[in-house]
Structure formats: structure tokens, C-alpha cells
Amino acid sequence: DAKTTQPPSMDCAEGRAANLPCNHSTISGNEYVYWYRQIHSQGPQYIIHGLKNNETNEMASLIITEDRKSSTLILPHATLRDTAVYYCIVRVVLSQKVTFGTGTKLQVIP
């Protein structure tokens, strides 16, 4: 699975959009981009995933660049409960392994 690079930490004001970047410049054509988050002392929570098209669900939007070398997770209206470590993962379709990097620690500020 390809390696990802994320900033170690970010702050976001409550109510504003949180934009979390992820670089995956070595991504292969059959690899999906997945995003998870982990709130302190809990198991990771699935957020969203995509291949090449932008995706949106009730939690977030995922924007993938045309060359697929980077992506951005957007939380449209961050709340204090969104404070967590966010992991960007790229994974071969139907691959069994998920490899976690160090993620981005998002702090939502009142």
C-alpha cells in the first residue's frame, strides 16, 4: 500500500470548515483513498473513501485531485466533537491490509 503524508496537527475554529490535506504521490491506479478518525481512547471511525471522483456523505466531503496524488477531507462545520486524530490511508482494492500512518491531530477551538 502506498505511503501517505499528513501534517501532524491543525487547529480549526468551531463552526468553520476544517480542511485536512493528505499527500499520496505514489498512489496506484487501483488504490482507494480512505479516511478514518480516532477520538481519544476510542477505536477508529470510518469517515469516507473514494477512488478518483469527489465524494460526500453525512460526515464529510472528500476531494481528490485529478492526478490522484493528493486529497483533502473537508468537515464543513467543525464542532468540538470533531477533535480527533484523522488518518488518511490508501489501499489496494480488495486488499486485506490497512496501514495507519501518524495522522493529523485536529483541534477544534471554541
Partner 1 sequence: GAVVSQHPSWVICKSGTSVKIECRSLDFQATTMFWYRQFPKQSLMLMATSNEGSKATYEQGVEKDKFLINHASLTLSTLTVTSAHPEDSSFYICSAEQAQTNTDTQYFGPGTRLTVL
What is the contact surface with partner 1 in residues (CB under 8 A)?
32, 34, 36, 38, 41-46, 49, 51, 87, 93-103
* Cα–Cα dist 6/53, whole Å: 21
User: Least distance in Å: CB of 91 to partner 1?
Assistant: 8
User: Least distance in Å: CB of 14 to partner 1?
Assistant: 25
Q: What is the 3-class SS of 37-101, one letter each residue?
A: EECCCCCCEEEEEECCCCEECCCCEEEECCCCCEEEEEECCCCHHHCEEEEEEEEECCCCCCCCC
Name which of 94 and 110 has its Cβ closer to partner 1: 94
Name which of 49 and 107 has its Cβ closer to partner 1: 49
User: Least distance in Å: CB of 87 to partner 1?
Assistant: 8
